[in-house]
A = this chain, B = another copy of it.
Amino acid sequence: MSSYNNEQIQQYLTNNQNKARLLVSCSDQPGIVSAISTFLFEQGANIVESSQYTTDPSEGTFFLRIVFESPGMKEKEEEIREAFNDIGEQFSMKWKLTFLSNLKKTAIFASKEVHCLRELLYQWESGDLMTDIALVISNHETGREIVESFGIPFYYIPANKDIRKEVEAEQLKLLEEYEVDVIVLARYMQILTPDFVAAHPSKIINIHHSFLPAFIGASPHKRAYERGVKLIGATSHYVTDDLDEGPIIEQDVIRVDHRNGVRDLKKKGRLIERSVLTRAVKWDIEDRVIVHENKTIVF
């Protein structure tokens, strides 16, 4: 498996084998933090980092992200998980416990424009994306050489709207085979079927080449040029059934001026698309993002 040849990731796994992350959301009520922190204390765990947010104290929704460390954690994974289950039930929590030694597996979907794919691979190689990039699926051969140079499997599956179902069946087979946790659409440019999306709630991350909700849909740079905007944007969001309407994870903009034609806008846009998508993927992989009512809390 490729990631296990990545030195940076090997070192990370060694350094963090006794760490875990807990992500919680539930109706707010007194005593939640006390219950969780006392539980962790009793487990011999030390809190490394924690962030908390409540939409409306005592009436709203409570969100918590906590990173903790405990000697010999690897051995008692199941024990901790089961023990926490009681607290989860007591407060009717949605919760997710991730042991840092279990790398998430990521699939990247790419196409002809490879700047986002390339950036993800580069950040991953530099140790900034702590995930196992399990495979890359593309409907063009363009990225093969780069991907394979990192020892990552590359699957070429031609795609267009007429064969969407068949293509997705092939993709799903690969996603299952590689036990993928996160799907990143790195300028994939193909629309997914409602079935595919429904099967992966808050698990598919897209990059749209505009500052949403401006220029939803096709050809955002051409329309930005025609409107004469002075900044162009990029938006990374979870994919839902409504095109470009999913919960936004991250956005950024770059300045343009009257001298820039559509081609210049595309070039400048690539610089922020790659950085916005990479930040969004990084935050997702580090369990920093919670989806709540078509918005995101980013800790």
User: Which residues in A have some Cβ–Cβ distance to B below 8 Å?
Assistant: 28-34, 37-38, 40-41, 44-54, 57-58, 69, 115, 118, 122, 126-128, 145, 149, 211-215, 227-231, 233, 247-253, 257-259, 267, 270-271, 275, 294-298
Contact = CB atoms under 8 A, between A and B. Distances in A.
B296 A228 contact: yes
A213 B211 CA distance: 10
A41 B31 contact: yes
Nearest to A119: B122
Main secondary structure of the interface of A (DSSP, over half): mixed
Nearest to A30: B46
Given A46-B58, A52-B50, A251-B231, A295 B37 contact: no
A157 to B, nearest CB: 25
B37 A34 contact: yes
B38 A47 contact: no
Contacts of A28: 46
Contacts of A29: 46
A212 B126 CA distance: 26
Contacts of A296: 228, 258
B231 A252 contact: yes
Nearest to A271: B275
